[in-house]
Structure 1
Amino acid sequence: MSITRHETATRMSRAVVHNNTVYLCGQVAKDRTADITGQTETMLAKVDDLLESVNSDRKNILSATVYVRDMKDFAAMNTVWDAWVPEGHAPARACVEARMASPELLVEVSVIAAVKA
């Protein structure tokens, strides 16, 4: 059994690969001062970067859990999400309203994806 941890700190690893599956920790926006659209865009860019670093991509996402601070932002977040997900490759997804670790955060996502064959 092989487990590979990437960008590991005391509390968590940003990505963990096991059995050709990658698990990403919760990703948040690069710019926490942006609106929901900007935060979603930069959050998903971080997901792209992490997936690429472990030989995966958004076409291989199996599951995603999106956390939004306020459901009033649901439609705007989905506009960005829908443009980002490749056609025909929508993962299983849940979206829940959640209190964030920092008040300026509007959105966070956790992702499970397959590693490319």
Structure 2
Amino acid sequence: MSDIVRIKPGPRMSQAVVHGGLVWLAGQVGEPGESVEAQTKTILANIEALLAEAGSDKSRILQTTIWLSSMDDFAEMNAVWDAWVDPANPPARATGESKLATPDYKVEIIIVAATK
């Protein structure tokens, strides 16, 4: 019996893995070519859905890593993040600039959370 649960597994990766009271989410991206704001909103909605499926929610996020294709988009992404994040339970967070899978992706967010 495996105590590892893989959510939405595919040939390359699972969208989430649950083990030992923690859930790790794969990097989440929005719709290619959309604005930073729109991609961030899509990503955060996907994160909420995956966390719910894993038995968690945004108040249980422990760590967030955010990759931006350009740090020039930091304020635009943060405006969406700040409206979404649980202000009573903000996670540890790091944000950096990186080339993403395609130039049409502007934001990628990676989450580690505790299950309930």
TM-score bracket for this pair, using the shorter chain length: over 0.9
- Structure 1 position 6 matched with structure 2 position 7: yes
2:17 equivalent in structure 1 = 16
2:63 equivalent in structure 1 = 63
Cα distance in structure 2, aligned partners of 1:113 and 1:16: 11
Cα distance in structure 2, aligned partners of 1:33 and 1:53: 28
Structure 2, unaligned stretches of length 5 or more? none
2:115 equivalent in structure 1 = 115
1:32 equivalent in structure 2 = 32
| Helix, strand or coil at the partner of 2:65 | strand
1:47 equivalent in structure 2 = 47
1:106 equivalent in structure 2 = 106
How far apart are residue 108 of structure 1 and its match? 0.3
How far apart are residue 96 of structure 1 and its match? 0.6
Count of aligned pairs:
115
Q: CA RMSD in A?
A: 1.0
Normalised TM-score (structure 1): 0.95
Normalised TM-score (structure 2): 0.96
Cα distance in structure 1, aligned partners of 2:67 and 2:111: 12
